[in-house]
Amino acid sequence: MPKKEKKRLQVVISDEQDALLTKAAYELSSPERLVSKSEVVRLAIEKIARELEEGRLEVDALLQALKEEEETGE
């Protein structure tokens, strides 16, 4: 996946989310190639966008999850 020269977003994540990113990067890595947390985020963005496009992802459920996260401060 080619990297584009774009301004990087600074997103605040919880310790739990950081741990999930670390775990996912570790599980996707192999002795031949390490996968960074940034790459995991890029893959997740692509997956979400693709599933939304194909109608396989429930938008209302995603928005509700984001709202709940904001309310709980996670």
Closest among 62, 68, 60, 33 to 47, alpha carbons compared = 62
pLDDT digits over 21-37, tens only? 999 999 999 999 999 99
Higher pLDDT, 12 or 2: 12
Q: Structure pTM? A: 0.73
Dig out the tokens for 47 from the structure: 């997956």
pLDDT digits over 40-74, tens only? 999 999 999 999 899 888 888 888 988 988 888 65
Residue found under tokens 């990087």: 8
Whether the per-residue pLDDT at 13 is higher than 70: the answer is yes
* Alpha-carbon separation of residue 55 from 1, 12, 24, 33, 34 (angstroms): 24, 28, 25, 32, 32
